[in-house]
A = this chain, B = another copy of it.
Amino acid sequence: MDTYMPMVRLGEPMRAGGIAQVIESKHPKYKPGDIINGLCGWQEYPVFEPNRADGVPPTKLPAHLDPALTLALSVTGLTAYFGLLDIGKPKPGETVLVSGAAGATGSIAGQIAKLKGCRVVGIAGGPDKCAWLTNTARFDAAIDYKNENVEARIGELCPKGIDVYFDNVGGEILDAALLHIAMHARVVLCGSISQYNVGDQSERYGIKNYNALTVNRGTAQGFIILDHLDRAVEGLLCLHKWVQDGKVVQEIDVQHGFENIPATLGRLFTGANLGKQILKVSDAPLPLRTSGIEKAVLAVLSAYYSRRA
C-alpha cells in the first residue's frame, strides 16, 4: 500500500485485498451469493470488471471456507505458500531462514518450511515475538534483531549455511544473510519493508555482499503473488487444512470500522500487529444472503502489506 499511495488518483479508492459477497453480476462466472476474494480496495461496494485487460479477476471461493481465515490467508498466506514452495523450493534437511518471521507472511513461510522437514530460524523484533516463534509457531530458533547481533547469530544458528532465505525486510538483514548462504542457495525476495519508508534513494541501505550469490551459485528471485492467483484456491485449501489440523498457527489481528483503515495500516509499520492484520469494514455477519438485503456490505477488508503490481 505504501507503493500504491502515490499511484492512486483523486477519486479512486486505495487498493487493498478483501472478501465480499456478490449481490449483482453481469458475468456468467459470478452469481449473486458467491463469496469472492479480490482487490476490493478501501471501499464498501467494489465493482469488478474481470474482462478488462488490466484487471485482476476476483477468485470465487469454495463456500465451505471460513471467510475471516480465508482473508487472513488470502494474500500473505498465499505469498508464503507460493514464495516458499515455488521460489524457495526447500528440501527436507535444509536450513531455512525467515525475516519478518512473526509477520503474516513470514510466520506462515516458516511453518510450511517446518512441515517440509527443514530446520527453520526466524528473525523478529523483541523477545515476545521471538518467544512466540519458538513456542507457538514451532520454529527451531529465533533471532531478536532489536537486541542481538544478527549476523553473528545467523552464523551460530545456521552452521551449515542458509539454503533458503525468505526475505521480507531487505536492507542490513539481507546483507547479513548473504554472508551465510550455502551452495546453491535460493533467496526469495518477497519484500523489503525496512526500505519502503526511506524517502531519498541516497539514504537507502546498499547491499554489499551480493557477490556471495556468484561464489555460491545462488539465486535471488523476486515475485509478486498476483502472478500466482490462478492457483489461489489450491493454496487456500491446503493452508486451511493445515490450520484446521493444527499444523500451522494463523493468528489474526482484527480491527474494526471503515474509518480505522489508515490507522490499521500504520500498525504494520510500528509492529503493533502480531499475525495477519485484517479489518472488518462492517460488523454484519458473513455469509450474507442477497434476498432481502437492500445493499451489499463488504464485510472484511484487508489492510495487507502489498506492493506494486
A residues within 8 Å of B by Cβ?
3, 170, 174-175, 189-192, 195, 201, 204-208, 210-224, 227, 307-308
Give CA–CA (A190, B212) in the complex, Å. Answer: 11
- A-B pairs, 3 with minimum CB distance: A206-B206, A214-B222, A213-B222
How distant is the Cα of A210 from the Cα of B222 in the complex, in angstroms? 9
Q: Which residues of B contact A190 (CB under 8 A)?
A: 214
Q: What separation, in Å, do the CA atoms of A298 and B272 have in the docked complex?
A: 67
Contact A221 B222 (CB under 8 A): no
Option from B192, B206, B207, B210 in Cβ contact (under 8 Å) with A214 = B192
Contact in complex: A217, B224 (CB < 8 Å): yes
A214 in contact with B201 given A206-B207, A219-B219, A219-B222 (CB within 8 Å): no
Q: Are A213 and B206 in contact (CB under 8 A)?
A: no
A222→B220 CA distance, assembly (Å): 9
Q: Nearest residue in B to A187 (C-beta to C-beta)?
A: B220
Known: A205-B206, A208-B206, A211-B192. A222 touches B227 (CB 8 A): no
Q: Which residues of B contact A212 (CB under 8 A)?
A: 222
